Amino acid sequence: MSTSIYRPESAHLQLPGIRRVGVERPFAWLAKGWHDFRRSWPLSLTYGIVVAVLGWFLVDWAWGRLHLAMAMTTGFLLVAPFLAIGFYDLSHRLEMRHPVPDLLRPFGSVRRNATSIGLYAFMLAFLLSAWERLSAVVVALFLKNDIVTTQSFTLGLIFSGEHLGFVLAYVAFGAAFAVAVFALSAVSLPMLMHRKTDIVTAMVTSLWVVRENFLPLLLWAALIVALTGLGFLTWFVGLAIIFPVLGHATWHAYRDLVE
């Protein structure tokens, strides 16, 4: 349960109050996300299947080039908040006791704050492009050129002791990049959909949320990575369910953390 409210002060931005929650709260968000998935499963599962199929085709297309395959696989977590946009709206409708809409209706909510949401999507696209370039640099620096260009290169060879330096460097760069993006986007997109606000206010609010709830958000990020990884390990089949549940749960995280 919420324990207290912190009200950040800014001379230039009108920021909402930030609730401080217990470290175990992410499990409640997951439970609520699962509950919403069950209530709207035909539509949620349809969206989930679409995302899983697109993810599989994207990774399959990129697999011939090592750095691109790794960048697209890990970069999925960067763009996931935007891909889950329909689930935020579905959870909001369920929260307001509105009927579950038809297939394309949830995306109509984007029109309420289309400019800010569009800027957010542009920012995510830029970050994904930057991560792809950074991934290419790390691969080129730490792996031999003949290995990088080999079509039969496998991830098993990467994680052998022979390439420990590459693994450590890639994880370090990836973790730093992911932490920065997560801090900016933890509650940004649900807030943009829920309120007529600008992208700067949403991202600054997200930074305050992470600052005031560091341990709960650290656990939440770990759960997202672990569950998404489980979806990848099932060749994206499990992602058709995992992704909608995480999307619904993200809405409840926003509602719990932002006054």
Q: What is the pLDDT of residue 249?
A: 97
Please report, for residues 135, 170, 240, the alpha-carbon distance to residue 143 in angstroms, rounded to integers and kept in the order given. 12, 11, 34
pLDDT digits (tens, 9 = 90+) for 210-226: 999 999 999 999 999 99
Instruction: Report whether pLDDT(104) > 60.
Output: no
Q: Residue 230 has what pLDDT? A: 92
Report pLDDT digits (tens) over 148-162. 444 444 555 555 556
Q: Is the pLDDT of residue 195 over 70?
A: yes
Q: How far is 200 from 190, CA to CA, in rounded Å?
A: 14
Q: 217: alpha, beta or left, given left = phi > 0 and alpha = psi -120 to 50?
A: alpha
pLDDT tens-digit map of 47-98: 999 999 988 887 777 666 666 777 777 778 888 888 888 899 889 888 887 7
CA atoms of 152 and 144, how far apart (whole Å): 14
Higher pLDDT, 11 or 208: 208
Cα separation, 43 vs 236, in Å, equals 18
Amino acid identity, position 42: P
How confident is the prediction for the chain on average, in pLDDT? 83
Percent of the chain with pLDDT over 90: 37
User: DSSP assignment, residue 107?
Assistant: G
Alpha-carbon Rg for the chain, nearest whole angstrom, is: 19
Element (H, E) at 2: strand 2-6
Look up residue 109 and give its two tokens.
Answer: 């909510």
pLDDT at 183 over 80: yes
The confidence score (pLDDT) of residue 35 equals: 96
- In the prediction, which pLDDT does 63 show? 64
97: left (phi over 0), alpha (psi -120 to 50) or beta: left
From the CB of residue 258, how many other CB atoms can be counted at a distance below 10 Å? 22
pLDDT > 70 in the chain, percent: 82
Tens digit of pLDDT for each residue in 121-179?
Answer: 899 889 888 888 887 777 777 765 545 444 444 555 555 556 677 777 777 888 888 88
Which of 34 and 155 is assigned the larger pLDDT? 34
* Segments in 105-213 forming alpha helices (H): 114-142, 145-148, 155-158, 164-185, 188-194, 199-212
